[in-house]
Structures are given as C-alpha cells and as structure tokens.
Amino acid sequence: MPDEQRSGATRDRTDNANGTLAVYVWRGDGTGGREQRFDVPRQESQTVLDIVTWIQQQADASLTYRFACRVGMCGSCAMMVNDEPRWTCRTHVERVARNGELHIAPLRNLPVIKDLVTDMDPFFDKWVKAEAIHHPSAGRDDEFAAVTPDDPERIEASAGIECINCAICYAACDTVAGNPDYLGPAALQRAWTLYNDSRDDGGDAILDAVSRSGGCHSCHSMGSCSHYCPNDLDPMGAIAGLKRATAKRFFGGGRG
C-alpha cells in the first residue's frame, strides 16, 4: 500500500520543489528536549531522511540520527514524522508535509539517547523474552531440512520473515505505550514465525514465553502495527495466531 494511501495524508500543495520547508526537529536527550526549527531547501523526490541529512550536513553538525542502507532494508532510520512512525528513507516529503511543515521526532515508546536516536535495547531484549530465537532441531551432521513452500505452516512462517526490525510497529502500538512490559508486535510476530518453522524445535518454549505477563494475550487487536508496517506485514494476525495456539494448548490440543 502506498504511504499516501496508508496515512490518509494528501499530497502537500503548499510547498514546491523551489521553496523551503519548515522542519521542526526534536532536540534533546533522555532528560527532555524541545523542537528546533530549520528551513530546508526543497528538492524533487526528497525523502524525510534527505531532510535530516541536509540539516546535519549543512545546518547543525551536532544533530544525531541513525541510518544505514537508505533503501528500506536495514530498518535503522525509523522516526516519528508528523506524529506517525515511518521509515524515513522511503518516505517522500511531498506525501507527509502539511502546510509546508514537517515535525520529526525520535520513535515513540523507546528511551531517547540523543535527538532522533532511541535506545533499541528494550525492543530487542523483548525478542529474546518472547523466545523469538532459533531453537535448533538438527545438528551440523544431519541432512538439510526440506522446506516445502506451500506447506500451510511454512506459509504462516513466510508471511513474517521480511521484518526488518525497524520498530515502527512497536512505536505505533498503544498497548506498548500503556504497558511497558508488553513484548510488542515485532517480537511476537517473530515468535509466531519460528513457531511455524519446521526447523525450529522450541514450540512449547515459545508458547510458554508468550503466555506470560506482557505476552500475546495483552494485545487488544487495535491493529496499528499492521497499519504502519512499512513492509505490509501483519503482526496483529501473527499475534492472533499465537492466541489461537495457546488457547488450543490450554484445552489440551496439539499444535495450533
């Protein structure tokens, strides 16, 4: 789904390729901060990451932000853009600017280190808490596992493997905002992916982990994760799968 359609935003007509954009960037650290205005020249096909890079290179070298691949693969550059979490390298300014303005802030639901850089430790720690780690079912001397693409479980697993760990779903999640213990959509989706991977031997460990306080049952199915996922993945559907699997096991059934 295109960004424009996803956000309901309309193409900003008030700025143009020859003008400037009023960009308000959140500056500060873990103790607090405030927005600072920069007037940034507009260019054709300019991305939000281009804007931040221009500020850092041309206006204020002390601006701190994070990026790597610039092509939507590494998941490093996610920020809040006009109060919505977005991958900034693939977000065109003309689709998100409103009235010639742009507000850029660090990702929601994560501690700020400095300016636009958040501490991702809580996000990745929760992947481990959710048992979203590989549990080997074979050793190096065993035959390669045959993976059948059209197997129903493999289809479930394949649905989530394109996650780039950008934490946009985590920033979008109101349940994370209300419950800091909640594991979050990305970790739970990864757990569901591994649960359905025939090469993973940790099915029960995964269901135990996601059944604890802050696990999949804390999800209210509000769907912000699936709405904002830049790769069009469906973490809410994955979490629903975990709920079904844990419920089935609760009643003594086998794999859900």
Site stretch for other proteins (CB under 8 A), options 9-17, 35-43, 113-121, 214-222: 214-222
Which amino acid type is present at position 59?
Answer: A
224 lines the binding site for other proteins (CB under 8 A): no
Other CB atoms closer than 10 Å to residue 177's CB: what's the count?
14
| By the rule CB under 8 A, 109 interacts with other proteins | no
CA distance 94 to 100: 9
3-state secondary structure of 107: coil
32-51: contacts with other proteins (CB under 8 A): none
Part in contact with other proteins (CB under 8 A); list of ranges 8-16, 64-72, 96-104, 173-181:
173-181
φ and ψ at residue 215, rounded to 5 degrees: -85, -155
Binding of residue 175 to other proteins (CB under 8 A) = yes
Alpha helices in 43-83, H assignment, sequence order: 48-54
For residue 217, the one-letter residue type is H
Q: How far is CA 218 from the centre of its chain?
A: 18
Q: CB 119 → other proteins: shortest distance, Å? A: 21
Q: Are strands 20-29 and 101-105 parallel, antiparallel or unpaired?
A: parallel
Applying CB under 8 A, does 213 fall inside the site for other proteins?
Answer: yes
The whole-angstrom separation of Cα 6 and Cα 69 is: 23
Site string for other proteins, 193-212 (x = CB under 8 A): ---------------x--xx
Shortest Å distance, C-beta 217 to other proteins: 4
- Shortest CB 213 distance to other proteins, Å: 5
Q: In angstroms, give the least distance from the CB of 179 to other proteins.
A: 5
In this chain, which of 64, 158, 179, 198 binds other proteins, going by CB under 8 A? 179
Question: Smallest gap, in angstroms, from Cβ of residue 208 to other proteins?
Answer: 8
Residue 186 tokens read as 């990305």
Closer residue to other proteins, CB minimum distance, 97 or 238:
238
Binding segment for other proteins (CB under 8 A), chosen from 97-105, 142-150, 171-179, 192-200, is 171-179
CB 65 within 8 A of CB 51: no
Report how far residue 169's alpha carbon sits from residue 183's, in angstroms, rounded to the nearest whole number.
Answer: 12
- Contacting range for other proteins; rule: CB under 8 A; set: 50-58, 70-78, 146-154, 172-180: 172-180
Residues touching other proteins, count (CB under 8 A): 15
Token pair of 220, please? 């209210």
Both structure tokens of 152: 């129903």
> According to the binding rule CB under 8 A, does residue 222 interact with other proteins?
no
Euclidean distance between CA atoms 124 and 133, whole angstroms: 11
Residues forming the site for other proteins (CB under 8 A):
175, 178-179, 208, 211-215, 217-218, 243, 246-247, 250
